[in-house]
Amino acid sequence: MGAGHDGKMMDFAGELHEELSGIRRDLHQHPELLYDVFRTSKLVTDLLESWGIEVRRNVGRHFGMGVVGTLHGTAGSGPTLLLRADMDALPIREENDVSYRSKHEGVMHACGHDAHTAMLLGAARTLAHYRHRVRGTIRFVFQPAEEGALPSPLDGRLLSGGRDMIEDGVLEHADQCYAHHGCRSCLSVRLACIPVMPWRHQAILEYISMESRGITVPLIWLRMPSKWQPGT
């Protein structure tokens, strides 16, 4: 993809600011805990489908609350990239005096997962719009239960949403995985891989910086290798 196309894509993404801000604030008003992300997952599914992205619902062998969108680029063959965001909130009472304050007493998006979900939706819409410039496949993974774990209804093991989706094959045939975590206090965005404990020793840490609106923002990338070797 040439520089001119990159510029057009970034312009398109920038034009989504108000829409994505609205999505983030809607999610902030309706936080959901752990695997109880029924409203959030439906919103994600509806939006992905409206942009022509193939959607797999109820992902997760034990709880089945994850969402995976798959975009097949039409510019030719290429790798499969996985982009992941988390959807769940925290059991915290919100005290912020804002118009989009949580409507659920004792539950709040205090860790930014509303923003993570909105940002990945923005990436999905942008890349879907430019699918004619995409080589390969992009998998958009929306994970429940990042903030904790619950006993599996099948075998009693404590499972986070990442593990539940992994056991349902979400990582199969993925060449690289990326996730991110906003950090408002340090004006940075940290990017890391979906939690995959068996492969943690194979990750590659990269540190770069990005300048946006006059602010230099450090980025930390945790990139997983192309060859998955579960259990090693």
Q: What is the pLDDT of residues 142-161, one digit of tens each?
A: 999 999 999 999 999 999 99
Please report which helix (H) or strand (E) contains residue 81, including its range. Answer: strand 80-86
Per the CB < 8 A criterion, the answer to whether 144 and 44 are in contact is: no
Q: Which residues are catalytic?
A: 88, 146
- The confidence score (pLDDT) of residue 136 equals 94
156-189 pLDDT, tens digit each = 999 999 999 999 999 999 999 988 777 655 444 4
Domain ranges of the chain: 3-176
Architecture of domain 3-176: 3-Layer(aba) Sandwich (3.40)
**pLDDT confidence of 195, banded at 50, 70, 90?**
very low
User: Among all chains, which residue has been given the structure tokens 């006059």?
Assistant: 214
Per the CB < 8 A criterion, the answer to whether 120 and 181 are in contact is: no
Per the CB < 8 A criterion, the answer to whether 53 and 83 are in contact is: no
Helix (H, G, I), strand (E, B) or coil at 68: strand
Start-end of H helices in the chain: 3-14, 17-29, 38-50, 113-129, 161-166
Structure tokens at 132: 């004619």
197-229 pLDDT, tens digit each = 333 333 444 444 444 444 333 333 334 444 433
